[in-house]
Amino acid sequence: MWQTSLIHYLVGFVYLVLFSRWLWVSGVGDYFGLSRQAVLTIFLFKVFWCFVFVYVHLQWSGGGDTLDFFQSGDQVYRSLFRDPADYLKLVFLPNHYYVTDSLYHYNQAINRYGDESTFFIIRLLAIFRLFSFGSYSAQAIMYSLLTLPGILFIYAFCMRQLGLHIRTIHTVLLIIPATSFWIHGLHKEALLLSACGMVLYPLTASDIKRSHLIWLIIGLVVLTLVRSHYLLLVAPLIALMYIHKNRPQQIAAYYLATLASILLVILLYFYLNDTSIRNYVFQQRDAYAQLSGLQADDLPLWQRFLCAVPGVLCSPFSSGAWPTDVSDWLMYAFTCSAFVYLMIQIRARYFMFHPIGFTLVFASLIEFGIIGCVVVQHGGIARYRAPFLCLFILGILAMFKDKKSKKILN
C-alpha cells in the first residue's frame, strides 16, 4: 500500500535538504573533477527520476518491483524486533542456504527470498529502514545518494577517456527518458550502472589513487552479486584498458580476441557436456517467462528461435520485440529512422576510430543480443538494456571527431 501520510514526505524532504547541503559544502566534486554545482545537479536529477519511476509504476502496475522491494525491506526490518539475530542473518548471510525454522516465516513473506541478485536490493533497503522512519521517499533519496559516486565516475570517465563535454553526458544520463527513467529508479539498474562507473574509471585514470582500488573492488563485488554476466563484458574491457593504457589503439583488437576466446570456452563447455546451446537459451527463456508470470511460447524450438531474432535486432530500439499499438509503431519508426540517420552521418569526415568508444558499442550490442534472446517481457527488455544503452550512446558520441559532427548528432 502506498504512503499518503504527510510525515513520510516530510522525512524525505529533510533528507533531501541534508544530503544536498552536504554535497554542496563537502567539495566531493573535486575528487571526481566536477564542480559542486554539477554534482548537486546530477543528484537532484537522480532524485527526480527516482520519484518519476515509482509514480509511473504506481499508476500502471500497482507499484511494481520497486514497491515490492520496499515492503520486503520492511519485513526484514521487522525481524529486528522478533530476534536481532534473524535481522543480521537476513541482511548479511547468503539466502540460498537451507531455511532454518526461525527464518521460515520470512521466507514465506518475502517472495524474493532465494533470488540473491534481487535480495541484494532488499538488504540495502532493510538497512535504510533503520534511519528512514518507514518513509519510501527517504529511502529513495538514500538510494540516489548511494548510487551517486558511480555515476560521477561515469562522468569523469567520459570526460577524460572519451573526450565528451559535460552537457553531452547530462543529455544521455539525465535527460533522455529511455535511459534516465530506468538507471535512476529504485531498482537494480541504478546500482549496476553505478558499479560499472566504479570499475571503468579507476583503471583508466592517469593518477590512480589508493581509494580508486577500493571503489574498484566495491564495483566488482556489486556486479558479481547483482548481475554476474556483466563481468563477461566489462572485466575484459577494464583489464585491457589497464594493460594497454599506453597503447590504447590496441584495446579494441585485444577485446575482440578476448571475447572470442571466452566464446570458444563456452562452446567447448557445452560440447563436453553434450548440451545444445539453443536448448539452453530457450530453457532460460522459459524460466524467465514463468518468473514473469507469462506463458512460454508453445512452438517447436526452431520456430521459437526464429521468433526470438526480432527481439535481438530490435531490443536496442524499441520497448519490446514487437510494437503492439499505434504509439509503439510510431516510436519504433522514429527511433529506427534516427538511428539510420546517425549511421549515415558517420562517414569519413565525421567519424574516427576511438578504441574505447568502439569497445563500449561492441559490448553493448552483445548485451542487447543476450537480452533479446532471453527476455520475453517488454518492460524487462527496456529495463535490462538501460545501463548498456547509456554506454552504447556514449561510445558512439566518442567516435565523432569534431564539434560540427557532435552538433549534428545533438
As beta bridge partners, residue 351 has 400
402 or 64, which is more confident: 64
Mean pLDDT of 47-59: 88
Q: What's the pLDDT score for residue 298? A: 62
- How far apart (Å, rounded) are the C-alpha atoms in residues 20 and 119? 29
Sign of the torsion formed by the C-alpha atoms of 6, 189, 164 and 244: positive
- How far apart (Å, rounded) are the C-alpha atoms in residues 241 and 161? 10
3-state helix/strand/coil string of 237-250 = HHHHHHHCCCCHHH
| φ and ψ of 351, to 5 deg | -115, 140
195 or 107, which is more confident: 195
Cα dist from 256 to 205, 253, 259, 363, 373, whole Å:
23, 5, 5, 9, 21
> Per-residue pLDDT for 75 more than 60?
yes
Q: What's the pLDDT score for residue 330? A: 64
Q: What's the pLDDT score for residue 145? A: 95
Mean pLDDT of 54-83: 84
Q: What's the pLDDT score for residue 100? A: 65
275 or 93, which is more confident: 93
Ranges 15-19, 85-89, 332-336, 362-366: which has the least confidence = 332-336
| φ and ψ of 29, to 5 deg | -65, -25
Q: State the pTM of this model.
A: 0.82
Contacts 24+ apart (CB under 8 A), 275-281: 278/305, 281/305, 281/308, 281/373, 281/374
Q: Name the one residue in this structure whose C-alpha cell is 518491483.
A: 65
Q: What's the pLDDT score for residue 384? A: 84
> Per-residue pLDDT for 78 more than 80?
yes
- How far apart (Å, rounded) are the C-alpha atoms in residues 165 and 159? 6
Question: C-alpha cell of 89?
Answer: 542473518
pLDDT digits (tens, 9 = 90+) for 116-143: 788 889 999 999 999 989 899 999 999 9
Rg (Cα) of the chain, in Å, rounded?
A: 22
295 or 271, which is more confident: 271
b/e 158-178 (16+ beta carbons within 10 angstroms → b): bbebbbbebebbbbbbbeeeb
> Per-residue pLDDT for 104 more than 70?
no
Other CB atoms within 10 A of residue 17 CB: 11
- How far apart (Å, rounded) are the C-alpha atoms in residues 306 and 46? 39
186 or 301, which is more confident: 186
- How far apart (Å, rounded) are the C-alpha atoms in residues 240 and 69? 37
The percentage of residues in the chain with a pLDDT greater than 70, rounded to a whole number, is 69
- pLDDT band for 406, please (50, 70, 90 cuts): low
CB 372 within 8 A of CB 315: yes
Q: What's the pLDDT score for residue 25? A: 93
CB 200 within 8 A of CB 149: no
- How far apart (Å, rounded) are the C-alpha atoms in residues 352 and 309? 31
pLDDT digits (tens, 9 = 90+) for 191-214: 999 998 998 887 777 677 788 888
Mean pLDDT of 309-325: 59
- pLDDT band for 348, please (50, 70, 90 cuts): very low
> Who contacts 137 (Cβ-Cβ below 8 Å, separation ≥6)?
3, 8, 9, 11, 12, 13, 15, 51
Q: What's the pLDDT score for residue 363? A: 81
Every domain of the chain and the residues it spans: 6-183, 231-409
pLDDT digits (tens, 9 = 90+) for 238-291: 666 666 555 655 666 776 777 777 778 777 877 777 777 767 777 777 766 666
Average pLDDT value for the chain? 78
Give the SS3 label for residue 353.
coil
Q: Name the one residue in this structure whose C-alpha cell is 589497464.
A: 242
Closest CA to 144 of 37, 251, 23, 1: 23
Mean pLDDT of 77-89: 85
> Who contacts 222 (Cβ-Cβ below 8 Å, separation ≥6)?
120, 191, 192, 194, 195, 198
Distance of CA 58 to the CA centre of its chain: 21
- pLDDT band for 329, please (50, 70, 90 cuts): low
- pLDDT band for 160, please (50, 70, 90 cuts): confident
